[in-house]
Structure 1
């Protein structure tokens, strides 16, 4: 891997046994990314690479590293860039200027799973129970380091990990400053790279880390974590595995609804209105509450009352509308939905049907008139 003397430059080091710092110089200035954990960290240069490659691609520059990468990582980066450039036209290929060393694949026996306390991570943890040894909770991904709910979230995941008999690893990082500074969207692009950074940094403890899937196969958009992407961030000591891509969200909810630990500690909210752990009013809370109601689940951390007016106002994707129809059928059969609630759910479905019907007709009209 060779390149030029300009562009993005990164220098990573262990500031102390539990802290990695990455000094970054880009066309937009110099700054430092810091990641800490409650266990010793490893592989500072290798763990910095996923953070830096998208930045270099964003600006069409060479990435110069003050350290070597192993041959597994070097090969994977070519595939990472091929995938990302096929998805996003604003990204260009970057040349990585760093020595490449040949290392045998030698990964720790531990298996980690990223664990936010949400539906996807609870499902992966419960269904991969015999395999998973560690749960990884990251402060600085969906909850910023100074967010007032950090302590509450940590208390909940610690209790969940203890109940599930898993070792919890808590990581704190400011990597989102990297994506924000360079105009890279967190969900569609950068959060998968940030997960790879954390997984590689923890490679002395977990050689394989599961990434719970956000989507189901066939409905998977370009996204920062993806079955075509995650495993290409591998190094000789670390590999990511995209988990449960074949499983729909209703199926996941039906499974976790049977588990007392999940129903005691579930966290799905990203709006956190009025400082609530789960606000019970946002789109994600409402859809989760309805799905749990449909399968008879009762969750301590979500309100038991569901606001029918808020449900009726939901804007659903076509996939969410299909799930809502199934919930209507299940709640009707079980007698768990009031007439007002069922009517509100049907209004949301009908609105979705009308919207997507218009979109499909418009697409067909435009396509029929294209000159090819």
Structure 2
């Protein structure tokens, strides 16, 4: 995979940093307050998992600088991710990174940042680190589709107003980094650590906090995690995984202490309103809110009918989401909410039944059935990605 044709252009609204990652043009649009570094670091970080999946060495075009510290760290990341194939669902090969010139390109953005979209994890990271954080990053193309201007404008304004009471700026960024992995057949869940870090490396932040989606109770390898996130750092930008010491329910409890924060809660990425109230993330969060006795205007209330006829019919496919299911079951049992327990345990039974079938496939057929299914999913995701990009 060749990293080439890097440019930094001044635009009417700020700066655009772009470059070719093989045949995919990766770009980042920044506001005027951020003049991105022109170097290979963000492009290599964003494309590493795709190159490992394709078993292609990364070749950096000669004029561009690459951090020596980042290169060393990426070797360790490859050691880690190449051992996580069974969790990530991809065969990942160790590759070489060649070309370019060793060096740290200086930055004038000496700030600590964190990603913020109004969700549970990002809000918790902000509230627990607000004295250290200088600015918050909200990225169009990650938390919502690139073409949803109306929702991005609405959500940006809501988040900006909330952060004003803490005197913290919200910096809005636009990027297609989420689609890079899809272009080469890798889900965002596997390559999100490199994708998020690429933004921090591009702006040259002093430190970037990446909010944890899981707690230490559930050690399931994923694209962003407390084992590998810090290894996306270079000699200038420290990447820090934050929040794994706290469960999802405890995070929501903390958000409830700041009514303004809870009032803007947004977890949905389906671009169907502020929160669609129908997807897995929405229903999971609605179940948590019901189990904690909280009502939030940005979500419909999870009634008994919705719990039994919508929530209970949901199928979980990701082991990372299973942890949230167990947390919700335990809390629903604690408050003796029989309807919610029944709905959640139906999801649990279905998930465990399908896991048993996958385990049987591994034992009896050496995983061939699952391999065929994964191939079909990769093709479908690639097809959808091409449609979205178009």
Q: Give me the TM-score of the superposition, normalised by structure 1.
A: 0.83
Alignment CA distance shift 1:10-1:320 (3 Å) = same
* Aligned residue number for residue 323 of structure 2: 319
Query: For 1:146-197, what per-residue CA distance to the aligned partner results, in whole angstroms no more than 9, with x for missing partners?
Result: 025222221222122223321211111122332222111111x222111111
- Which SS does the other structure have where 2:82 is aligned? helix
- CA distance, structure 2, for counterparts of residue 23 and residue 141 of structure 1: 19
Asked whether the 8 Å contact 2:315–2:351 carries over to 1, the reply is no
The separation in 1 between residues aligned to 2:45 and 2:170, in whole angstroms, is 23
1:285-324 aligned at under 5 Å gives the runs 285-306=282-303, 307-308=306-307, 309-315=309-315, 318-324=322-328
Change (3 A) 1:303 1:106: same
- Residue among 165, 183, 187 paired with 2:185: 183
Alpha carbon RMSD of aligned pairs, Å? 3.0
CA 1:92–1:260 in structure 2 vs 1: closer, same or farther (change >3 Å)?
same
Name the SS of the counterpart of 2:219 in structure 1.
Answer: coil
Alignment of 1:202-351 (within 5 A): 202-203=203-204, 206-272=205-271, 275-306=272-303, 307-308=306-307, 309-315=309-315, 318-332=322-336, 342-350=338-346
Shift of 1:118: 0.4
How big is the shift at 1:124?
Answer: 0.8
Q: Deviations over 1:65-101 (max 9, x none)?
A: 2312122112111112212222235222222123453
Is this contact kept in 2: 1:108–1:237, CA < 8 A?
A: no
Partner of 1:130: 131
* Change beyond 3 A, Cα 1:99–1:161: same
**Between Structure 1 and Structure 2, whose CA radius of gyration is higher?**
1
Q: Which runs of 5+ in 2 are unaligned?
A: 367-390
Equivalent residue number for residue 380 of structure 2: none
SS at match of 1:190: helix
**2:382 aligns to what?**
none
- Length-normalised TM-score, structure 2: 0.79
8 Å Cα contact 1:278/1:302 also seen in 2: yes
Distance of 2:105 and 2:135 partners within structure 1 = 24
SS at match of 1:142: coil
Question: Is it true that 1:61 corresponds to 2:56 in the alignment?
Answer: yes
For 2:215 and 2:297, the matched residues in 1 are separated by: 27
Change (3 A) 1:105 1:80: farther
- The separation in 2 between residues aligned to 1:95 and 1:118, in whole angstroms, is 37
Equivalent residues in 2 for 1:151-170 (5 A)? 151-170=153-172
Whether 1:10 aligns to 2:7 is no
